[in-house]
Structure 1
Amino acid sequence: MTATASLSRRVFLASRFRHPSRVLARSKPSLRRSQASIASVQPDFTPPPPPPSSSQRTLDTSAGVPPYRAPEQRRNEWHAPSRVTPMSKYKELIDNGTLRPDDHQLQIVGKLQKLHDELRNYNQPTVEEAVVQTPSFLQRLFGSQAETLPEPPSNLPKGLYLYGDVGTGKSMLMDLFYLTLPPHITRKSRVHFHAFMIDVHKRLHDFKKTHPPGADPILPIARALAKENTVICFDEFQVTDIAVAMILRRLLECMIKFGVIFVMTSNRHPTKLYKNGIQRASFLPAIDLLMSQFDVTDLDSGTDYRKMPRALSNVYFHPLTEEHNLEIQKIFDALTAHDGPVVQDKQLDVWGRKLKIPESSDNVAKFTFDELCGKPLSAADYLEVTKEFNTIFVVDVPKMNLGHKDLARRFITFIDACYENHTKLFVTSEVPIYQIFSDEGTTQHSKEKTEHMRSVMDELGISDQQIGTTSIFTGEEELFAFARACSRLVQMGTQEWAMTAGHEDKHAMIL
């Protein structure tokens, strides 16, 4: 294939993307063709959650708690026919070749089916109106309650807590369950945990602005969420700091008593959450709650679905040469030619702040690595960028060493945001993209973590030559974030991703 033909194909694939908020509804025959075309996506593909309908969003905000708006939610919502169950859909996907038979995974689907059957006969009790209390915030946050909460409903089904390493099919199983929920479960959410916690922090901020000091925000927020949701599906559940740990403890306790059922995926067994964290003892009751109120299930079966063979799409360019700069610019020019004018320094609003986009059209944005990661941007910033633009170019990505850990963490957060919003990503980098986080030093510390890195590399099917023998990361959570980023970069470099990135019908993968 000539360079021109190759470029034309990449432009064709990428130009199919349209921002979800700007896409007109399709006819049913066209929609069915789209569903069929993306059914070949690998099982661990993670579509963003569908939005609730307006009827699901009625909420008394007298307690000063705004309705939940998950950052990832998209306009279209897909509903499986009432006769479809997790097991029937899973067997259909096996029969048509979309998924491969896996005995261990079949057992997990059996647990999804059990919960599905229990939900058919479950109706969440009415959630009483919030009563705002005024003890100290810290007293409330760390578990002291003056108000008596109701006991959980006697027929409340146990939730599911699915944990496993990258590539074990967590997100596919979550989608399978969520999209086949019984039809009477209309109040539901599927959201990446990171985006959910950003929303909770916004609620806390809004609450403090409208209530006297010391008023308890957790109960009103828990009530609001319980009013809006009978079922909540969390992807990538994790606990990284003491504030999140304490907020989660209270939220889970309250929402379960209000009759909410949770299905969660995580990289960690509950007993390993927030391991060695500050004041972890205060979080132990939440771990006990997870162990008692959830069916905790290990997804690891020895099969890594992200290692399945697939064709690569040429979206990552290295090293940093004038030739690659010109090629990236040609792709950018082609994608923006019919996508509105290219503007400089567009401003996005994020929590009342202005975030500058150096170069962008309606759906495409371009950053240098320094513009994207050289400033103290947060996950909320990156989520907003990936919601606004379905195709993003990042140029001049350096190889990072131990002195660049803050930059590396931000870039990983950006990768996660791209993945969760299914954004098309083009990159130019100093070294192969999978080596940007490697450190070729031979310090004693790097030798000590070699065994862990070897395990990570084996899981991802990546060799020493591809990724380097060591990582600049040291802690267990850092290493897992590094592994997840590498795995996601692999997936985001495939033709399947190129064909479906920015697609508003991503839930159709399993419907």
Structure 2
Amino acid sequence: MRVVRSILASPAARRPPIYLTRLAVTRPCGRSHSSSLAVEPGFGQNLEHLFKQPSTPSNNTPDQNPSEDDLLTPLRQYQKLIDTGVLRGDDHQTRIIQKLQDLHDKLLHYDPPHIPRPSHNTSLVSRIFSRDPPVPTSPPASAPKGLYLYGDVGTGKTMLMDLFFQTLPPSLKRKRRVHFHAFMIDVHKRIHAAKIAMGFNGGDPIIPVARDLATEASILCFDEFQVTDIADAMILRRLLESLLNYGVVCVITSNRHPDDLYKNGIQRSSFIPAIELLKSQFEVTDLDSGTDYRRIPRALSHVYYHPLTPEHDREINKIFLSLASQDPIDPPIRGRKLTTWGRQLVVPESTSKIAKFNFQDLCGQPLSAADYIKVTETFGTVFLLNVPKMGLDKKDLARRFITFIDACYESKTKLFVTSDVPVFKVFSDDPNESRPQHLSDHLRSVMDDLGLSNDIVGTSSMFTGEEEIFAFARACSRLVQMGSKEWADTAGRF
């Protein structure tokens, strides 16, 4: 750790510590493994208050800003986590944190450009003699390059994003951290509204959308960047380019190197310019260290019940009634309605904070990520009953289930599940049916990293594409983490 300590010895690094708020991703074998950031067991998640910037001393006037030496920084906090035993450091981790620190230091002196609003004056004279502000064609010279951090499941991507975002200089007021799923839902809504506003005359909706986004946030942090949809692929190149030209600095985490994004996607050639943009305007960094950390056993909480039996039904209903009866003025009701994009989702039984669904209620009908985000934003605890085993004949159900799991994970929702099979076998075919004869090297690598045997993987015909492999890997990992004692003790808002 001499590398870390020598950096911290410099005056610019003498800043007070904070704590991270994320656990390492746990694996389906009930163990934790992070090839980039290893977290000790028992580390809680509800420590957001420790990220607060130090208060200004009482002898300072309100308009005085704290000095740079008083600001929170990624490097100092990383060293504190090592000193307290939360993380186990190595030189590779130090190099990653140093990249966050370098960007942090550049942002201290970055003044995002002013973004003028277009004229909306409707008078004839004003339209003749006024002009809309010019659209920038290149990033500001003062804007630092963004970061693109990629690595497999469990390499600490979300943890790094949290660390960076929570230690951003307080002078940067316009900042946004968002899961990529939620961001694209927002973008599609804005594009739809822009097209309506443009009317029959038409026009390019990307520019006003990018301008509005840039007005709201000069620092934009995307977590879990992935491209699986042709509509997203067609939008992203011009959207990212426009955001950078407006001076937005982006930090992105992804499972993929830019060259591997949207692999084998429809009309992928149209997405190649976006890949080149990411490689030229971002510092692309691999989070995989190659270090073989020992996997840390985790105590599992009883939140995942299988198989489907009357005893388990009674147990899960008893838990629901116990939690739902804690507030006498908020009793469970039937048929609560949630509205998303003008359509309604009926919640079979819920309080204002706890909901109970049958699997068919959530995944058996054509719901989208927006619906699942709405559910997890509304309810801190969700009961999902009667999850079946899903093979190729239930592929649509499996995709929706994975999207729902992702939404629960991102919102730190406490999840109780009853299922026909153990968590490792949710995405499996009938073992008596024919199975794929060959597994790709990449699939074997991902499944081995997750602790899943080839026998389990080989029984499923679900794994037919690269994106599905990553989605499956992430869902399995997250399901097990959401069944851990740490998650059960800290998640939920009831």
With the shorter chain as reference, the TM-score category is 0.7 to 0.9
Counterparts of 2:187 and 2:294, CA distance in 1: 32
Q: 1:275 aligns with which of 247, 253, 263?
A: 263
- Displacement of 1:179: 0.8
TM-score normalised to the size of structure 2?
0.81
Matched, 1:85 2:73: yes
Q: Does 1:489 align with 2:489?
A: no
Secondary structure, in 3 states, of the residue corresponding to 1:447?
coil
Change (3 A) 1:382 1:281: same
CA contact (8 A) 1:44 1:172 kept: no
The change in CA–CA distance for 1:431 and 1:182 in structure 2 (over 3 A counts) is: same
Task: Tell whether 2:198 aligns with 1:225.
Answer: no
Give 2:374's match in structure 1, choosing from 384, 395, 399: 384
User: Unpaired segments of 5 or more residues in structure 1?
Assistant: 1-34, 46-74, 133-145, 505-511
Aligned to 1:473: 463
Q: Is the 8 A contact 1:449 1:474 kept in 2?
A: no
Q: 1:438, 1:302 → 2: CA distance? A: 30
CA shift, 1:43, in A, is: 3.8
Q: Superposed, which structure 2 residues align to 1:333-352 within 5 Å?
A: 333-339=321-327, 340-352=330-342
Q: Distance in 1 between matches of 2:429 and 2:220?
A: 40
String of CA shifts for 1:216-256, please: whole Å, max 9, x gaps: 21111111111111110000011112211121111111110
**Would the aligned equivalents of 1:168 and 1:305 in 2 still touch at CA under 8 Å?**
no
2:83 matched residue in structure 1: 95
Show CA shifts across 1:120-149 (max 9, x none): 1111111122479xxxxxxxxxxxxx9752
Give distance in 1, aligned partners of 2:119 and 2:208.
7
Distance 1:89 1:77, change over 3 A: closer
1:430 corresponds to: 420
Cα 1:284–1:371 change in 2 (3 A) is: same
Matched, 1:457 2:447: yes
Q: Distance in 2 between matches of 1:221 and 1:476?
A: 31
- Of 356, 367, 378 in structure 1, the residue corresponding to residue 346 of structure 2 is 356
CA distance in 1, matches of 2:350, 2:183: 28
**Alpha-carbon distance between aligned partners in 2 of 1:430 and 1:303, rounded to the nearest angstrom:** 37
Change (3 A) 1:304 1:323: farther
**3-state SS, counterpart of residue 314 of structure 1:** coil
- Name the structure 2 match of 1:209: 196
In terms of mean alpha carbon deviation, does 86-95 or 273-282 score higher?
273-282
Query: Partners of 1:471 and 1:237 in 2: how far apart?
Result: 26
- Aligned-pair CA distance for 1:41: 5.4
Please name the residue that 1:399 is paired with: 389
Contact 2:423 2:480 survives alignment (8 Å)? no
Equivalence for 1:235: 223
Identity %: 60
> Who is 1:163 aligned against?
150
Match of 2:114 among 126, 135, 153: 126
- Would you say the 8 A contact 1:156–1:259 is kept in 2? yes
Which SS does the other structure have where 1:178 is aligned?
helix
Return the letter of the residue paired with 1:167: G
Q: Take 1:93 and 1:333, find their aligned partners in 2: how far apart are those partners?
A: 40
Higher relative contact order (CA 8 A, sep 6+): 1
Which whole-Å CA distance do the structure 2 matches of 1:380 and 1:304 have between them? Answer: 38
Matched, 1:291 2:279: yes
- 1:442 Cα shift? 7.7
1:326 and 2:299 matched: no
Q: Which amino acid counterpart does residue 346 of structure 2 have in structure 1?
A: K
Q: CA RMSD in A?
A: 2.7
Establish whether residue 42 from structure 1 lines up as the match of residue 23 from structure 2.
yes
Residue equivalent to 1:26 = none
Offset at residue 467 of structure 1 (A) = 6.8
Measure how far apart 1:106 and its partner are: 1.4
Deviations 1:74-99 (A, max 9, x none): x9995334422100000011111111
- The aligned counterpart of 2:64 is none
Residues 405-414 or 202-211, more deviating: 202-211
Task: Check the 8 A contact 2:214/2:243 in 1, yes or no.
Answer: yes
Quote the Cα distance in structure 2 between the aligned partners of 1:402 and 1:466: 15
* Change in 2 beyond 3 A, CA 1:283/1:40: closer
Matched, 1:109 2:97: yes
Closer, same or farther in 2 for the Cα pair 1:337/1:305, shift >3 Å?
farther
